[in-house]
Structure 1
Amino acid sequence: MSRQIIATAQAPAAIGPYSQAVRAGTTVYCSGQIPLDPATGALVEGDITAQARRVFENLKAVAAAAGGSLDDAVRVGIYVTDLQHFAAVNAVMAEYFKPPYPARSTIEVSGLPKGAQVEVDAILVVG
């Protein structure tokens, strides 16, 4: 099975030795997105809600570049630096996903790149 590397200028460029996403067959593995502005590469300003919206916008752009959408997500991983943000991130996620929701994990971590408060990765199955 061949791999197709997914890249788009509509999401931040990778800040390490990885691809924004890799497609293998109909499965797309999206790398974690942090709340970076794709135009500037800077961390967005604002609270956890603003950061979560930017993360999901970035993930949405990567999904589109892979020929899919967030509706194709079968699994989402959320990493937050403070589980007190759980409800706020859930509220933003509900703006981007509709039932039936993908499987998901939410994990508190001690830190994220560039001082982000939230990071999200996903696995999609695209037609």
Structure 2
Amino acid sequence: MKEIIKTENAPTPGGHFSQGIKINNRIYVAGQTPVDPKTGEIPKTVEEQTRLSLTNIKNVLEAGGAKLEDVVKVNAYLTNVDDFKEYDKVYQEFFVDNLPVRTTIGCDLKGIPLEIDAIAEL
């Protein structure tokens, strides 16, 4: 059974896709950008951007009945790979124990500095 996850605590998708989907005991969270869902603004620093993207992921997970500790896979896309150290430092605030696997790549994102998606298993 497929359940669409929607929350006002994460940005409304800018395209034709869902914030998250729950299938059985798994939640797939769409790529979350560092957009504040209340103001539509993007913070200036990579630390703030990372924190906001991961908070958006957390909020989608919670809307689906999961938490960050349930995350098993993270993909992160950085416009500037030189920001990795700052990004990773904030990432460690969100994932302390029971670490998920992760892939981080540099790519050309259109108009956004970073994007992060996740898969959680309940």
Q: Is TM more than 0.5 here?
A: yes
- Calculate the TM-score normalised by the size of structure 1: 0.92
Structure 2 residue aligned with 1:120: 116
Distance in 2, Cα, partners of 1:41 & 1:5: 22
1:94-113 paired onto structure 2 within 5 Å: 94-112=92-110
1:30-49 paired onto structure 2 within 5 Å: 30-42=29-41, 44-49=42-47
Q: 2:90 aligns with which of 89, 92, 113?
A: 92
Q: Deviations over 1:21-76 (max 9, x none)?
A: 0000000000000011101223x231111111110111110010010111100000
Distance in 2, Cα, partners of 1:74 & 1:107: 18
Unaligned runs of 5+ in 2: none
Moved over 6 A (4+): none
Q: Deviations over 1:65-121 (max 9, x none)?
A: 010111100000000011111111110111111222100000100124xx2211000
Counting matched residue pairs gives: 122
Distance in 1, Cα, partners of 2:67 & 2:114: 20
How well do the aligned residues superpose, as a CA RMSD in angstroms? 0.9
Percent of pairs identical after alignment?
34
Structure 1 residue aligned with 2:20: 21
- Calculate the TM-score normalised by the size of structure 2: 0.96
Unaligned runs of 5+ in 1: none
Equivalent AA in structure 2 for residue 92 of structure 1: V
Equivalent AA in structure 2 for residue 62 of structure 1: V
